[in-house]
Amino acid sequence: MALTMAGDGMSRAEHARESTANFNARDFAAAGKNFADNMRFHAPGLGVDVEGRDMVLDRISAFVQQADAHYELEDVIEHGPFVVAFTRSTGTLDGQRMAWDLCQIYRYEGEEVVEAWALRGGPPQSATS
């Protein structure tokens, strides 16, 4: 399947990589530049289900900053309107440095992300072991 190119010449997979780098740099506006105004975000393991670009960015940025989270993108797959990113994450949870795997799914309409899911691959584990 061919990659879908955005107006800036980047594929959706490249946008996912760039967005991850921007979250790590704490540039949240740049990280969410392709989020639709009415985007929906679901993180069932955290009980998060929000709608609206600003609400999504507020919720994600609050977690990233509070946990001092860092994301290492391991693989990205693009298929039709979906981009699936597999990420190794670290952050401070309940005072301990922890690590967890994420599967992030982005659903696009045109050049905008209209819905996203963040699914943990199990409970966070100690990052010091």
Q: Could you tell me which residues are beta bridge partners of residue 112? A: 109
What are 103-125's pLDDT values in tens digits? 999 999 999 999 999 999 888 88
Q: How high is the pLDDT of residue 122?
A: 85
Question: Which whole number is the average pLDDT over 48-71?
Answer: 95
Domain that holds residue 43: 12-122
Any idea what the CATH number is for the domain that residue 98 is in? Answer: 3.10.450.50
Strands 112-120 and 125-126: unpaired
What are 85-98's pLDDT values in tens digits? 999 999 998 899 99
Q: What is the number of structural domains in the chain?
A: 1
Query: Do the domain assignments include residue 38?
Result: yes
Q: How high is the pLDDT of residue 25?
A: 97
Query: Do the domain assignments include residue 71?
Result: yes
Query: Do the domain assignments include residue 85?
Result: yes
